[in-house]
Structure 1
């Protein structure tokens, strides 16, 4: 039996990892890493720092790295491109499981934030397990360890509750928000927005005046936080986001956008 631990490591601060996550780190024999290139080296650096801080001295472990499959950033068919990307990642993980693990060993996959939120690692590992079961190959078990999401970190860093009293909050993406602010929803936490979709709601229209709580590189030394009436801060967010992306070569941000209350 080979065991895969899918470990949520939080949104950037090495101390965001939970006690359960620390215990999981100390069970791992080999960590599987996806190399996303030099530009995103800081993402690997955070993972390595987490291991340095939280794995007990003398606990033997090793790292195995493979190139992350490239992703089409402007696909004609978004869902098809995601399916292709996941299939490619499954192939990479299958090779690492077959070639880099002995029977009885435990592998760890360190997932940014929480594995359940806009991440496909759980789906990819479950697909591999189902495939191996059907083909009669080595047996694989897996466990999922939750982590602190970017949405939780965002609310904490802005010192706000995510929801208003007795009101729901929608978790969505920039791609879906671009279709329009959902009817019957006052607050939306938005992830994976590469197009500054919030700017579409800066001018009060059918949705009324909006407010925003935005954060980038949450929990890291590069963290940026901006909040206020959307009409007042949309331009600043766009400028700071553009500058940060040019400086670092990448950006990871999220925001809470909601209808402003009267008064």
Structure 2
């Protein structure tokens, strides 16, 4: 039976790849490297760098073009169609490139458990009749790195933490004392009541062009939006995350 191994590789720094991840990488037969277009070519290059640094085993690297999500229309149905397209791509690649008992690695940005679609894509493959075992190797998440870079704890003492998206934040500010926001393409922090809120923001965490800003939301929201727009224009893409904290 084939095995698909999801390996969390952290958020941009090869030094954050764990020993367990390195061992898993060297035990597989095939590593799939997704290409996401010219604007995000450095994401594929990071995966190549990780393999070049740590891979000593028998694995072959196979690169492929990842399907692109259609941004038009209803969001959830668009994501569902996108996931099905990725599942079909993975299945076709594995059937063409890997033997019936091969181990195949997918290098997942951050950790497969936190706002990543790969585990759901594997569910779709299984539901479609593709037989395989799965294994997950955890990685450092952007949320962990954000807290480390700012030197803060994720939670306030005895208080809850909520992890959400920019899309949800625009609908309502959660009641939790600490709110971590991911996948915010439109600076949703500017849509919430800033009084009493502090923001810890980071972009390109773990990479050489890492950016950090923190302060009272009312004072730094405009600066973050401007810096974010400039960085995205320069790099062609951006990955960022932030923590909102009351008090």
Question: Tell me, what secondary structure is at the counterpart of 2:129?
Answer: helix
* Residue of structure 2 equivalent to 1:106: 103
Give yes or no for the alignment of 1:62 onto 2:60. Answer: yes
Give yes or no for the alignment of 1:195 onto 2:192. Answer: no
From 138, 151, 154, the counterpart of 1:162: 154
1:199 and 1:213 mapped to 2: Cα distance? 14
Shift of 1:186: 1.5
Per-residue deviation, residues 158-191 of structure 1 (Å, max 9, x unmatched) = 11111111011101100111111113x1210000
Structure of larger gyration radius: 1
Unaligned runs of 5+ in 1: 134-138
* Contact 2:170–2:192, Cα closer than 8 Å, also in 1: no
* Contact 1:188–1:257, Cα closer than 8 Å, also in 2: yes
Tell me the TM-score normalized by structure 2.
Answer: 0.96
Give yes or no for the alignment of 1:179 onto 2:171. Answer: yes
* C-alpha distance 202-216 of structure 1, shift in aligned 2 (>3 A): farther
Shift of 1:198: 0.6
* Contact 2:33–2:47, Cα closer than 8 Å, also in 1: no
From 206, 211, 230, the counterpart of 2:198: 211
From 227, 237, 240, the counterpart of 1:250: 237
* Residue of structure 2 equivalent to 1:136: none
* Residue of structure 2 equivalent to 1:78: 75
Unaligned runs of 5+ in 2: none
* Contact 1:8–1:113, Cα closer than 8 Å, also in 2: yes
Per-residue deviation, residues 34-62 of structure 1 (Å, max 9, x unmatched) = 21011101101111111122223xx2221
Shift of 1:202: 5.7
* Residue of structure 1 equivalent to 2:135: 143
Cα root mean square deviation, aligned: 1.3
1:76 and 1:98 mapped to 2: Cα distance? 32
* Contact 1:202–1:234, Cα closer than 8 Å, also in 2: no
1:195 and 1:125 mapped to 2: Cα distance? 29
Q: Detail structure 1 runs of 4+ shifted over 4 Å in the superposition.
A: none
Give yes or no for the alignment of 1:4 onto 2:4. Answer: yes
* Contact 1:129–1:141, Cα closer than 8 Å, also in 2: no
* Residue of structure 2 equivalent to 1:91: 88
* Residue of structure 1 equivalent to 2:209: 222
* Residue of structure 1 equivalent to 2:39: 39
From 213, 216, 221, the counterpart of 1:234: 221
Aligned residues: 247
Question: Tell me, what secondary structure is at the counterpart of 1:15?
Answer: helix
1:189 and 1:42 mapped to 2: Cα distance? 26
* Contact 1:189–1:257, Cα closer than 8 Å, also in 2: yes
* Contact 2:39–2:237, Cα closer than 8 Å, also in 1: yes
